[in-house]
Amino acid sequence: MRLLLFNLATDADDPVLGFATRWIAALARHVEHIDVLTMRAGRVDLPANVRVYSLGKERGYSEPRRAFEFYRRLAHILRNGPIDACFSHMTPLFSVMAAPVLKPWRIPIITWYAHRQVTPTVKLAYHVSDRIVTSAASAFRYRGRKVSVIGQGIDTDLFCPGDTLPESPPLILSVGRLSPIKNTTALVEACSLLRDRGVAFRCAIVGPVVERDRAYAAALGARIRHLDLTSHVVVVGPVRHEELPAWYCRCSAHVNLSPMGLFDKSALEAMACGRPSLVTNAALVKPLGATGDMLLLADTQPASVASGIELVLAAGLRGRASLGGTLRLHVEERHGLATLANRVLRTVDALSS
């Protein structure tokens, strides 16, 4: 089987999209060859049967130049041999652009999309794709018969408990892009309440800031200083994807305050490392029953967040370890990378038969 794969960034060191390299490697173990068309490339750490073509965003190419490169590279790939299917990872625009070229060749298009926004491009991608695959039912809001839920694709070999014990005092961790939609300010306010209640803790906020959110990040830092929390809360900034497991293993609890529709993988990465992750998106923990109820916060109000953290910390090291075992099993069964790769390939087989 030969796959064509579209991707936003193919860079093993990218703090947000580095996981995509592991997705490609997992698929490569089961196919003859993969050609990757990516918006930008960085450190490419992939098997020999994968070839990566960058559209040149890392070199400063303009949008018209990148569009030209897209079709030039696509034509080159199609001339080099038959393609069995196209897997478009979080690139609905590429699905739309490629459809007029791939359809005459009868190459099925499988588009992965997991985001709360349903743009005109996403709607059009739905119609030109043979199948839409997503992480959870709530992660793709444009309903239709083409949609299949296949899990989030967490690499549970990388994200695993390891031998590291949680830090003392307990570390509260938040991993993800600093953005208003992540409600990180509510976590900072909750830390103020915990400090005032005499709870011993530290909090680390790990993740990058994109240009449009610079003002929010600056305001968050100012709020930490205003609340006199600099000895309790640290904004770490971005870290390489492969460095994240060490952060999860250091913490006693992870907090993710993303809303419904934003199926944030950081919560599942923490669970894969055997750490409880407090969330406000019920879809992340609903399959866990009573265990999920314990981790689901009522809302993003600081008082609710603080109470949820206190409840997890009160479970003690043994209680959290027992909970962590359940959470890891949940991720392995529903959201493991090997499971996702198998489901993608089964989808290709079904569309090709």
Pair 330, 346 in one domain: no
pLDDT of 306 above 90 = yes
Pair 307, 344 in one domain: no
- Residue 231 belongs to a domain with what CATH number? 3.40.50.2000
pLDDT of 261 above 80 = no
Q: Is residue 179 part of a domain?
A: yes
Q: Is residue 158 part of a domain?
A: no
Pair 175, 323 in one domain: yes
**E-state strands within the chain:** 2-10, 33-41, 50-54, 85-89, 109-112, 131-134, 147-149, 171-175, 202-206, 233-237, 253-256, 277-279
Residues 241-269 have a mean pLDDT of: 93
The number of domains in the chain is 2
Q: Comparing C-alpha atoms, which of 20, 22, 2 is closest to residue 10?
A: 20
Q: Tell me the pLDDT band of 232, cut-offs 50, 70 and 90.
A: very high
Pair 28, 101 in one domain: yes
pLDDT of 2 above 90 = yes
Residues 14-33 have a mean pLDDT of: 95
Pair 221, 84 in one domain: no
**E-state strands within 85-182:** 85-89, 109-112, 131-134, 147-149, 171-175
Beta-carbon contacts of 280 under 8 Å, excluding residues fewer than 6 positions away, are 183, 256, 257, 258, 259, 260, 296, 297, 299, 300
Residue 247: give the domain boundaries. Answer: 171-334
Helices 92-102 and 120-128, interaxial angle, to 10°? 40
pLDDT recorded at residue 286: 85
Q: Is residue 144 part of a domain?
A: yes
Q: Is residue 298 part of a domain?
A: yes
Pair 187, 301 in one domain: yes
Pair 137, 243 in one domain: no
pLDDT of 251 above 90 = yes
What pTM was computed for the model?
A: 0.93
Pair 212, 310 in one domain: yes
Q: Is residue 165 part of a domain?
A: no
Pair 20, 120 in one domain: yes
Q: Is residue 121 part of a domain?
A: yes
pLDDT digits (tens, 9 = 90+) for 52-99: 999 999 999 999 999 999 999 999 999 998 999 999 999 999 999 999
* C-alpha distances out from residue 35 to 2, 38, 53, 74, 111, Å: 8, 10, 8, 9, 16
Which of the two residues, 332 and 291, has the higher pLDDT score?
Answer: 332
Residue-averaged pLDDT of the chain: 95
Pair 92, 229 in one domain: no
Pair 215, 324 in one domain: yes
pLDDT of 112 above 90 = yes
Q: Is residue 162 part of a domain?
A: no
Residues 196-224 have a mean pLDDT of: 96
Pair 196, 122 in one domain: no
pLDDT recorded at residue 138: 86
The tokens for 286 are 């609903």
pLDDT digits (tens, 9 = 90+) for 123-144: 999 999 999 999 988 889 888 8
pLDDT recorded at residue 353: 73
pLDDT of 169 above 80 = yes
Q: Is residue 201 part of a domain?
A: yes
